[in-house]
Amino acid sequence: MELNFPSDYGLVVGFRHTHKMKKMRKGSFNDFTLRYGTGIANGGDGGVSKTWLTYGAPDTISLSFKGAYSLALVNHMVFNISDRYTLNGYVIFTNSKGGADTNHKSKTYFGKEVYNRKTDFTIGARNEFYINDYFHLLGEIHYSQRKDGEDPMASMVKFSVAPILVPTGARNTWARPHLRFVASVARYNDYAMDSLYSPYLQFVGNKRWGYYFGVKAEWWVWN
């Protein structure tokens, strides 16, 4: 099958600022990034900054993404309060719209119906307590919400606790490897629950509460 769509274009601009907290313990910082993509290069799909992951649907007449956009903001902070405690906070916001003349659903080039507008918001804080050099305790509170098109808002709040074994013996939030036992509990709002919004709910059904218990290993890999 031969496909022949009109040429299209887009533009991406970005800004990043990292501020080192010199009055706090070494390694403390605040990192702020802002990205704005337009047209077919809006890059608003998938929650990453790849310009070819175009969000939304094209205009149904011109078949272009003229007028499409995606604004993404990320703020990440690490505060090393003492040799016994680190606070790791984050805020993520994304607002994306495709090229179709609708805020709800429209068809792609291949006839698949997709949402043409979304708004994501996430905020969270990870607390790491250094019980001793080799044993840390991690606690995290996390809230996410998303609105697709004109559908109601789906939201979730999650709390996690994770005892951590750190073989390197470093009192540092970036120390790896981490061997973790993780216990999490999440609460979903009505729409997320009834629409089976997450992969977890699609597996267990329309539950108000979600639970996770498991063991994780994490380490850095350098080239």
The first and second tokens of residue 54, run together, are: 């175009």
Supply the pLDDT for residue 49.
63
Grade residue 47 by pLDDT with cuts at 50, 70 and 90. low
Q: Is the pLDDT of residue 98 over 50?
A: yes
Q: Is the pLDDT of residue 68 over 60?
A: yes
Q: Is the pLDDT of residue 5 over 90?
A: no
Grade residue 223 by pLDDT with cuts at 50, 70 and 90. very low
Place of tokens 């840390």: 136
Supply the pLDDT for residue 1.
46
Q: How many CB atoms lie within 10 A of CB 220?
A: 9
Q: Comparing 3-7, 22-26, 80-84, 219-223, which segment has the lowest mean pLDDT?
A: 219-223
Q: What percent of the chain has pLDDT over 90?
A: 87
Q: How many CB atoms lie within 10 A of CB 162?
A: 20
Report if residue 187 sits inside a domain. Answer: yes
Q: What are phi and psi of 151, to 5 degrees?
A: -70, 160
DSSP string, 87-116: EEEEEEEEEEE-SSS-SSEEE-TTS-EEES
Report if residue 103 sits inside a domain. Answer: yes
Taking residues 109-119, report their average pLDDT.
Answer: 94
Supply the pLDDT for residue 50.
75
Report if residue 1 sits inside a domain. Answer: no
What does the pLDDT look like over 123-180, one tens digit per residue? 999 999 999 999 999 999 999 999 999 999 999 999 999 999 999 999 999 999 999 9
Q: Alpha-carbon distance 210 to 202, whole Å?
A: 11
Which CATH number belongs to the domain containing residue 196 in this structure?
A: 2.40.170.10
Domain that includes residue 192, residue range: 10-218
Q: Alpha-carbon distance 176 to 7, whole Å?
A: 47
* Sequence letter at residue 2: E
Report if residue 223 sits inside a domain. Answer: no
First to last CA, the chain: 42
Number of domains the chain contains: 1
Taking residues 42-68, report their average pLDDT.
Answer: 86
Taking residues 89-100, report their average pLDDT.
Answer: 96
Q: How many CB atoms lie within 10 A of CB 196?
A: 16
Supply the pLDDT for residue 95.
95
User: Which helix (H) or strand (E) covers residue 192, if one does?
Assistant: helix 190-194
